[in-house]
Amino acid sequence: MLIETADKSGFCFGVQRAIDLTGQAADKYGEVFTLGPLIHNTIVTDSLEKRGVHIAADVQDAQGKPLVIRSHGVGRDTEERAQAVCSVLLDATCPFVKRIHKIVSEQPADSTVIILGDGGHPEVQGIVGHTRGEVFVFADLAELKAWKGPSDPQKPLFAVAQTTFQVT
């Protein structure tokens, strides 16, 4: 049987960028921490662990050490805490996710932001952490339809979606 690999197989560019950046940091610093698993792939995270990349559950776990913000991104407050306590802060957030952070952070504080995605996913938690006004997260159409609306219906309303969100 012949098995062929598709031309477009492998990681998306954002994940590959995060893996490359983290590997380079491990080569440069010897010991590096990622804030949570770099990506959702234990083969990759186990391989990086062998190179000196450790998973930190919290910023404090990497105090005084180099820290990589994983591809999912983090909220603004987490970035600020990491800058304050880590020796080096490397941002491996996917550029598409970073763009969503920028979009929501630029909305007026009196606006409402709707995020379509999994509220328990690190990417969505990071997006929420860049909003300034009222924010609501919806995992599916049923939740959105059940929503009673923002506290003030006159507020501007903006919607974004988790980059890996799949509607089923």
Q: Cite the active site residues.
A: 123
Residues 6+ apart with CB under 8 A from 17: 71, 92, 94, 95
Helix and strand tally (H, E) in the chain?
A: 6, 7
Sign, Cα dihedral of 7, 91, 70, 101: negative
Which amino acid belongs to residue 137? V
C-alpha–C-alpha distance, residues 86 and 64, integer Å: 5
Q: Residue 40's closest CA among 76, 11, 60?
A: 11
- The SS3 of residue 63 is coil
Task: List, as one string, the DSSP characters of 68-114.
Answer: EE-TT---HHHHHHHHHH-SEEEE---HHHHHHHHHHHTS-TTSEEE
